[in-house]
Structure formats: structure tokens, C-alpha cells
């Protein structure tokens, strides 16, 4: 039972354009969502998060949008840069007293110069 | 400061052998997590340690898997009688406290022949 899904295994965009990565979840108990970025041979690094009490959080070029009614979140990267090329994972926290994260399968983003 | 470190970075073993994977969390982080990422899959939660509390082992896939955390710092994940389906990247993460952002190590790539 995949509670967090990233249905696009890959995404290719041109440098300077917007990258939109999508994530869907099924568990209504999730109340905190995170995006991690992973380069080959490295562990994931935290990128941005959003609480379920918000619908948008912005940090520089990165913005995460949350649509609770649709159980959908998205990560926007504007403008995209070649260094953004990596695997992006969305993750959800179930509101327990600790961060037991449930991850999606990841989306490979490639930004072409 | 030093991040999360894991050793070995790569481990090749024969089916049926036992393996030990090590994680050194960030100094002062009380929470420690183990995840694994199988080929083409997202990160799968395995086990969680928080301070001196009993660990949450709910993600361990079988009784061949066990983990301990000595002195509230270093953790060892042990897989007994390894099987080919155990082949994956095993990732360790730590956080200052349970709900806080998790910082991941580079992972150990385990290959069971």
C-alpha cells in the first residue's frame, strides 16, 4: 500500500524554466510534508517542508504547495538550474510524536542547459 | 560540523552470511532512523531510536533484521542470513529531536550475491 506516490518517475526541463514535481498521498493523518533532494552516491538532503495548516511555503527558488482536499502537494522550482538535476523525494509525517517519514518513490529531475 | 556518517559505503556478501552496517549520527542528535531504498523504490522506514526509549521496530521486514544503539550515539544494523532481496541502499538519518528535520548519511550499498 503506497501511501505517498510520485507518479512521474522523471521530468526534463530547460534551464530557466519552471520545474513542477508532484506528489499524492492517501493517509489523511499526515500533517507535515517534506521534500528531499538526492544526488547520486549521497544521502537525501532536506529541501523544504510544509505543515498541513498552510497551503504554501516559499524558500528562494523553491515553493511547496499543499492541497489538502485533493491530498496533493507540489514542488515548484523557478528558475530551474542545471545544478537542480537530482532525484526529488516527497515525504509525509503521520503526526506521531516522532518523524517516522513515509516517502514517495522519487522523481528524477534533469535540467538541460 | 560533521554530518551523519555510515560505514562501509559498499558491502558485497554471499547469501546466508551476516552483515553489520554502522551509523554515526550528528553529535547531540537524540533521534536516529534507519531506512532502506531498494532499486526503483522510495525510502522504506526500518527502525527508530529516540534517546533511552524502546526503539520502534515496526518497519523491520523480518526477524533477521535487528539494530542497536549504544550509548545513545552509534547504531549498528545487523542482517542475519542475508538474502538476495536484502540488496538495497541502507540509509541512516538523525535529528535533534523526533519531529525535527532528519539529516541523512550517504548510505551503505549492500549487494547480496
User: Taking CB atoms and an 8 Å cut-off, how many pairs form between chains A and B?
Assistant: 61
Taking CA atoms, what residue in B is nearest to A100? B45
Q: What are phi and psi of A58, to 5 degrees?
A: -125, 140
Interface of A with B in 54-83 (CB under 8 A): none
Task: Give chain A positions within 8 Å (CB) of B104.
Answer: 36, 43-45
C-beta atoms of A99 and B99 within 8 A: yes
Residue A38: per-residue pLDDT:
93
Q: Could you tell me which residues come within 8 angstroms of residue B30 by beta carbon, excluding any fewer than 6 positions away?
A: B50, B51, B72, B95, B96, B97, B98
C-beta atoms of B106 and A100 within 8 A: no
C-beta atoms of B45 and A106 within 8 A: no
Taking CA atoms, what residue in B is nearest to A98? B98
Q: Could you tell me which residues come within 8 angstroms of residue B82 by beta carbon, excluding any fewer than 6 positions away?
A: B13, B14, B15, B16, B17, B18, B19, B64, B110, B112
Instruction: Look up residue B71 and give its DSSP letter.
Output: G
Provide mean pLDDT across the span B34-51: 89
Q: Any chain A CB within 8 A of the CB of B46?
A: no
Q: What is the mean pLDDT of chain A?
A: 93
In order of B46, B47, B60, the CA distances from B63 in angstroms are 12, 13, 7
**How far is the C-alpha of A87 from the C-alpha of B89, rounded, in Å?**
15
Judged against a pLDDT cut of 60, whether residue B1 lies above it is answered with no
> What is the β-pairing status of strands B103-104 and B88-95?
antiparallel
Indicate the residue of A97, A99, A104 with minimum beta-carbon distance to B102: A99
**How far is the C-alpha of B46 from the C-alpha of B31, rounded, in Å?**
14
More confident: B98 or B76: B76
Residue B99: per-residue pLDDT:
65
The torsion of the CA quartet B26, B32, B38, B44, rounded to 10 degrees, works out to: -140
C-beta atoms of A105 and B100 within 8 A: no
**How far is the C-alpha of B90 from the C-alpha of B37, rounded, in Å?**
6
**How far is the C-alpha of A34 from the C-alpha of A50, rounded, in Å?**
6
Residue A36: per-residue pLDDT:
95
Amino acid at each position: 500500500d503506497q501511501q505517498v506516490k510520485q507518479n512521474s518517475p522523471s521530468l526534463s526541463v530547460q534551464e530557466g524554466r519552471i520545474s513542477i514535481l508532484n506528489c499524492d498521498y492517501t493517509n489523511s493523518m499526515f500533517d507535515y510534508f517534506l521534500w528531499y533532494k538526492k544526488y547520486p552516491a549521497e544521502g537525501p538532503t532536506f529541501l523544504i517542508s510544509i505543515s498541513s495548516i498552510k497551503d504554501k511555503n516559499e524558500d528562494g527558488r523553491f515553493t511547496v504547495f499543499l492541497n489538502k482536499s485533493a491530498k496533493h502537494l507540489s514542488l515548484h522550482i523557478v528558475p530551474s538550474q542545471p545544478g537542480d538535476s537530482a532525484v526529488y523525494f516527497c515525504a509525509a509525517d503521520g503526526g506521531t510524536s516522532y518523524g517516522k517519514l513515509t516517502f514517495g518513490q522519487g522523481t528524477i529531475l534533469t535540467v538541460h542547459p | 560540523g560533521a554530518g551523519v556518517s555510515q560505514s562501509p559505503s559498499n558491502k558485497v556478501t554471499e547469501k546466508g552470511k551476516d552483515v553489520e552496517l554502522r551509523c554515526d549520527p550528528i553529535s547531540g542528535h537524540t533521534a536516529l532512523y534507519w531506512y532502506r531504498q531498494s532499486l526503483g523504490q522510495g525510502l522504506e522506514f526500518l527502525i527508530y531510536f529516540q534517546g533511552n526509549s524502546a526503539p520502534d521496530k515496526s518497519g523491520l521486514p523480518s526477524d533477521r533484521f535487528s539494530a542497536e544503539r549504544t550509548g545513545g550515539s552509534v547504531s549498528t544494523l545487523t542482517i542475519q542470513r542475508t538474502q538476495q532481496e536484502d540488496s538495497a541502499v541502507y540509509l541512516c538519518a538523525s535529528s535533534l529531536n523526533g519531529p525535527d528535520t532528519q539529516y541523512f548519511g550517504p548510505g551503505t550499498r549492500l549487494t547480496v550475491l
